[in-house]
């Protein structure tokens, strides 16, 4: 058990470091190949938001553990809204810009509902994956259209990428990709070992340990941004991450390991994710004249997440899953 726990920690550390280097290597390589700034920006948006979740989902699916991949996607969204947004709003109230109210938040709501459609028959198959990938393509296309005049996404991450030679950028890209694959495999291996030793399902581990671990970068970015007064980045970070988790991460097991899913994924986990999405929507549109997440509302989101985690612990210890009607 101690060995699996150590491997889990090492896997997380390798995953986060290699994901950062993978984005840097991808952007530097794209620049050297004279790819347009727009496509480079979309690369940062796509890979920088959900790279850890994507590689963990792929490794789990290839090992025949789609429950771990699904749990990672849904659990990360729940952790993003409850743990990350909740803690950040407690520190600094988070206002919604009109752009977020008109476009970004409705897109997240729509994507969440699309994920529910994919999960409703308790099966993730190739058709569901195609539906999600079409949604991802449309989402990236919208970003490209909105910024076509500027020909850039004006992302702070792009300014942090150092100039590299063709050889160095390619080596950085290749080595980081290798370490991403190794760290994702290490994480999945350790999680399966821990689940086996504790006698609980990989789904529960994916919804808790893996989901919390892969949401830690979002927590750091959101809190740091909010404390610097960049509340737009704090909220936008979560909205973008949740959209990508549903469209990209959830699509991976649909293609690599199409299978039936446990009923509690829909009636417990998805229900909680949908409920928290609707709660944030209520905070943004209907609770007051000022569209923002207050400290009280942040505390409520955090409390819901904590209750959810305790519910998972109860389910794991008793073998009696608690579900919600949908």
For residue 162, what are its two tokens?
A: 């150092």
Helix H or strand E encompassing 257? none
- Give the Å distances, CA to CA, from 158 to 123, 168, 216, 250: 39, 17, 21, 27
The answer to whether residue 46 is domain-embedded is yes
Q: 310, 307, 265, 302: which is closest to 280 by C-alpha?
A: 302
Range of the domain at 140: 2-318
Please give the model's pTM, rounded to 2 decimal places. Answer: 0.87
> Locate tokens 């991460």: which residue?
249
Q: Check which CATH number belongs to the domain holding 32 and give it.
A: 1.20.1420.30
Per-residue confidence (pLDDT) for residue 202, from 0 to 100: 84
206 domain residue, yes or no: yes
**41 Rama sector, left if φ>0, alpha if ψ -120 to 50, beta otherwise:** alpha
Angle between helical axes of 126-146 and 105-119 (0-180°, round to 10): 170
Burial string for 221-232 (b: 16+ CB within 10 Å, else e) reads bbbebbeeebbb
Which tokens in the block code for residue 312? 């998972």
> Which 3 state secondary structure label does DSSP give 259?
strand
Nearest-angstrom CA–CA distance, 104 and 163: 32
Contact 69, 257 (CB under 8 A): yes
Indicate whether 324 belongs to any domain.
Answer: no
Number of H helices, E strands in the chain: 16, 4
Token digits of residue 22:
């993978």
306 inside domain: yes
DSSP lists the bridge partners of residue 259 as 124
Is the residue at 188 inside a domain? Answer: yes
Does residue 18 form part of some domain?
A: yes
Residue 73 lies in a domain: yes
pLDDT tens profile 211-270: 998 888 888 888 888 888 888 878 888 888 899 999 999 999 999 999 999 999 999 999
| Tokens describing residue 126 | 């190739």
The low-confidence residues of the chain, meaning pLDDT below 50, are: none
Question: What gap in Å lies between CA 48 and CA 42, rounded to an integer?
Answer: 10
Give residue 320's pLDDT.
73
Q: Which pLDDT value is given to residue 46?
A: 56
The helix/strand/coil state of 200 is coil
**Domain assignment of residue 56, yes or no:** yes
Cα 88 versus chain centre, distance: 17
Q: Could you tell me the two tokens for 239?
A: 């909205």
Short-list 8, 10, 80, 95, CA closest to 277:
80
* Structural domain count of the chain: 1
């Amino acid at each position: 058990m101690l060995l699996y726990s150590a491997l889990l920690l090492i896997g997380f550390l390798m995953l986060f470091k290699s994901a950062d280097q993978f984005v840097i290597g991808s952007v530097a390589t794209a620049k050297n190949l004279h790819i347009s700034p727009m496509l480079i920006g979309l690369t940062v948006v796509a890979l920088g938001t959900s790279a850890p979740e994507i590689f963990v989902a792929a490794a789990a699916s290839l090992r025949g553990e789609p429950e771990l991949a699904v749990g990672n996607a849904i659990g990360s969204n729940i952790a993003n809204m409850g743990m990350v947004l909740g803690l950040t709003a407690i520190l600094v109230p988070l206002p919604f810009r009109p752009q977020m109210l008109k476009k970004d938040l409705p897109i997240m709501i729509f994507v969440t509902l699309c994920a529910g459609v994919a999960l409703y028959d308790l099966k993730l198959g190739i058709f569901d994956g195609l539906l999600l990938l079409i949604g991802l393509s449309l989402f990236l296309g919208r970003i490209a259209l909105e910024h076509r005049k500027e020909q850039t996404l004006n992302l702070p991450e792009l300014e942090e990428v150092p100039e590299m030679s063709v050889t160095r950028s390619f080596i950085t890209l290749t080595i980081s990709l290798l370490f991403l694959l190794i760290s994702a495999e290490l994480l999945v291996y350790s999680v399966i070992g821990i689940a086996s030793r504790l006698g609980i399902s990989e789904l529960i581990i994916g919804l808790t340990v893996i989901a919390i671990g892969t949401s830690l970068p979002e927590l750091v970015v959101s809190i740091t941004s909010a404390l610097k007064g960049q509340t737009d980045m704090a909220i936008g970070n979560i909205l973008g991450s949740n959209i990508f988790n549903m469209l990209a991460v959830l699509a991976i097991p649909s293609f690599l390991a199409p299978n039936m899913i446990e009923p509690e994924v829909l009636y417990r986990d998805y229900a909680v994710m949908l409920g928290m999405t609707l709660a944030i929507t209520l905070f943004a549109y209907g609770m007051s004249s000022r569209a923002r997440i207050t400290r009280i509302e942040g505390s409520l989101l955090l409390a819901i997440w904590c209750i959810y985690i305790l519910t998972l612990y109860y389910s794991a210890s008793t073998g009696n899953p608690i579900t919600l009607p949908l």
